[in-house]
Amino acid sequence: MNIKIIQRQCGGTEFLSQPHCLHLGAQNAAGVDELCFTLPEAWAGCTVALYLRRSDGTLLAPVSLDTQHCVTVDRRLTGSTGGQWMLAAIDASGYAVYTRPGSYDTYAIPPIDGGAEELPPSQYEQFVARVLESSSTASTAAQRAAASAASTASNAAQVQTAAQRTSADSAAASRCAARAEAAAARAEELVPKITQKIERMVLMMAMLWAQEIMSAETVEEAKALYERCPRLLKEKVKAILVKSGFEEITQ
């Protein structure tokens, strides 16, 4: 039996089955039919199970769909004359959805000998195992995400610290540059004054040399002193001697 699950928007998203009512044949029949579900694309990757409630209110254990989205009709479904059914789909991210409940029925048969067959638990155990596996996968993913977030926060803190250090170094460099600029300005202001002082000192030294030369007793001694005059002072000494009338000493 093929059953199609249809997604519909009607004030909200709901999932309906076609057909809605399942006729499963004789009561207590098993292995005769198979329910095969065509699922919507939104359920891709979900674990899907069939839930049953008999007409007397008994809730049965969920029946997990196989890889082909099918369930074999056995006494879990045919053990009573009817009831309700629905599908539930869940995944590890917390997505959970349910179809609108449908109905199923069987036709009654006379009592037969042999008693009731015990329902096999394997399908339910398989469903529980899948749920536990999905839960474990989600927990592992959450732990990895937390570790990644912690690493990202640490890297961000390191970047912020480096930026603060760079900012501090930049401010210090700016202060040093300002001090250097101020020192250069002061030096520039002092250059003319220092130059004037040096020129006066040179002139005084030249005058002392010229005075000593002019005080020599003979012209030969004066010329000898003039020859020993430092090279940097000689022009100024010569100018003083010429101005003072001792030009012959410089010749």
Q: What is the pLDDT of residues 164-212, one digit of tens each?
A: 887 787 788 788 788 888 877 887 887 788 888 888 888 888 888 888 8
Q: Within a 13 Å sphere around the CA of 177, how many CA atoms are in the beta-carbon half?
A: 6
The b/e string for 138-165 (b: 16+ C-beta within 10 A; e otherwise) is eeeeeeeeeeeeeeeeeeeeeeeeeeee
pLDDT tens track for 15-73: 989 999 999 888 888 888 899 999 999 898 899 999 999 988 888 889 999 989 999 99
Residue 20's CB: how many other CB atoms inside 10 A?
14
User: Residue type for 64, please?
Assistant: S
How many helices and strands (H and E) does the chain possess? Answer: 4, 10
The alpha-carbon radius of gyration of the chain (Å, integer) is 55
How many angstroms from the chain centroid is the CA of residue 134? 26
**What contacts 42, CB < 8 A, 6 or more positions away?**
7, 97
The answer to whether the beta carbons of residues 184 and 218 sit under 8 Å apart is no
The model's confidence at residue 104, banded by pLDDT at 50, 70 and 90, is very high
Fold of 2-100: Immunoglobulin-like (2.60.40)
- On the question of pLDDT at 95 being above 70, the answer is yes
Please state, for a pLDDT cut of 90, what percent of the chain lies above it.
21
State residue 23 phi and psi, 5-degree precision. Answer: -100, 110
Residue among 225, 229, 227, 206 nearest 217 (CA): 225
Q: Which residue's structure tokens are 């309700």?
A: 84
**What's residue 129's pLDDT?**
65
Tokens of 81: 């004359």
| Whole-number Å distance between alpha carbons of 76 and 52 | 8
